[in-house]
Structure formats: structure tokens, C-alpha cells
Amino acid sequence: MRFKRLRRARKFKLRFPSLSIPWILAILYITIVIVILTGPIFKLERFACTTNTLETCPDFVIPELEKYTHEYIYLIQTDDLENRLKKNLPRADYLTITPIWPDLLQTTIVWQHPIVNLSIPASSSALLVGNNGQILNLVDIPDPQLPTIIASSAADLIISDRINEPSLQAAFDIVKNFKTANIKTNTINLISPQNIQVNLNDDRIAVFTSLKSIPVQVRTLQLILSQATINSGLKIIDLRLDRPALKPTQ
């Protein structure tokens, strides 16, 4: 009887499966990966910000990044953070946030370069306007390297606004088209929607209207300026008419 019980116990003895070397290595690899990814090595500890100029990053950028301290780098969603920072940086042409393994969150800011001063009559200060029509900054004096638009309608604009008033947009489009056509100007006086006077560098004045295509008027002006037979006494180039007119100054 005792012998039968012994045989029965041996019959039901637990057996553990034997693992091959590849299985052991796979389990060991997975264990190491889990330990590394959930350990401190991939938690954010360093934060940096650079720009495309010598200007330092705004003071609030790094503290905003530091809110993610000790977060795992592979779980960071940068889209919301980028959008939040962009709203507070109207001068930025674009902004990117890049997680750099193992523990660095890098922000890169590319500033817009202003292309025109925007001022109101009898004012010594100016707003700097970027290529997309956004107000970038307020300066005490206009940048002498840039043309200046003088317009009463600019009085209500503040930093981060965009130019959207039609006649002011037309004056801004003149600046952009002049740049493409390589025509020089220093001052654009927005007197009315149908009277935009552009001072050219040869002492002539080109008169535009916001009611007609600005690119077409600029191309017409470019053609007129290319003609060597223009009477030097005709200082006014009126582009508002179907047939542009050359007039003497009054």
C-alpha cells in the first residue's frame, strides 16, 4: 500500500519546462529594456533654448519647459507646448521643441525679420512689421534700413496684430512687390485708399490706388522706370489710371 502511494506521488510530480538559450536571452533583454525605460535615465532633467540671432530666448520659455521635469522623454507630446509658446511669441517665424535622448528638451526659435516700419503722421516711433503682416515690435525710431509706411489707420494696431485694413494692406503689398521687383523706396504715404504716394529713390513719386491690383501697378511702374527717355521734369508717375500718366510736381 505504501509503495502504491509513493508511485502515485511520483506520477503527479510537478515538472517545469526547460527553456532554451534563445528564450532566456529574449526574457533577459526584455527585462533590461523595461528596467532602463522605467528608470531615471530617460526622465527629463535638462532644458535648453536657442534662437537664430544673438538675442537670448524670452525669460518665460525655460520655466515653461521645466514644468516637464522628471517626465519620461518618450511620453512628451510637444504639439500643445509649441502652440502655447507661439501664442506668446508673435515675433517667432516658427518654433520647434525637440526631445533629445536621454534627458534634454530643446527649443529652437527662429525670429521673423521686419521688412517695413509702420508709423502714424507726426509720430517719431514706429511699429516693425514682419513678412506675414504681423506687428513684431514697437521701436522709438524707425529702422533706417527699412522703408516706412505712414498711415493714420495704424494708430489702433498693437504688437501681435496683423495688418488687415484694405488700404493699409495695399501699402504693405507695395513694399513686398517692390522687394521682388528690386525697386527702392524710403517712404509710403497712405493718404486715402485711392491716393497712396510712394517716394522713389530718384526723387520721383509713384501714386497707387488700393482699388486696383498692386502687382499690376508695380509691373507697370517697373516698365516705366526701365525707359531711359523719361523727361526728368516729370516727377509724378500716376498709376491709378488705365493709361499711367507722367506729371510734373505741383
The pLDDT value given to residue 34: 63
Q: Domains plus CATH for the chain?
A: 42-111 (3.10.20.310), 116-247 (3.40.50)
3-state helix, strand, coil in the chain (%, to 5): 35, 25, 40
Whole-model pTM: value is 0.73
All cell numbers assigned to 14: 510537478
pLDDT surpassing 90 at residue 37: no
SS3 211: coil
Alpha-carbon gap, residue 134 to 180, rounded angstroms: 19
pLDDT tens string 195-207: 999 999 888 999 9
Residues 6+ apart with CB under 8 A from 152: 120, 121, 190
Mark out the alpha helices in 191-239 (DSSP H runs).
214-225
Contact (CB, 8 A) for 120 and 150: yes
Is the pLDDT confidence value at 21 over 80? no
**Cα dihedral 172, 174, 179, 182 in deg (nearest 10):** -160
Rounded Cα distance between 208 and 221, Å, is 10
Give the span between the Cα atoms of 115 and 190, in whole angstroms: 17
Grid coordinates representing 170?
495695399
The C-alpha atoms of residue 141 and residue 124 are separated, in whole angstroms, by 6
Query: What is the total residue count of the chain?
Result: 250
- pLDDT confidence tier of residue 55, bands split at 50, 70 and 90: confident
Residue-wise pLDDT for 71-118, tens only, equals: 988 888 899 999 999 888 888 988 999 999 889 999 999 999 999 999
pLDDT greater than 80 at residue 119: yes
Q: Which of 122, 118, 207, 219 is nearest to 164 (CA)?
A: 118
Mean per-residue pLDDT over the chain, rounded: 87
Give percent above pLDDT 90 in the chain. 62
118: number of CA atoms within 13 Å, CB side?
Answer: 30
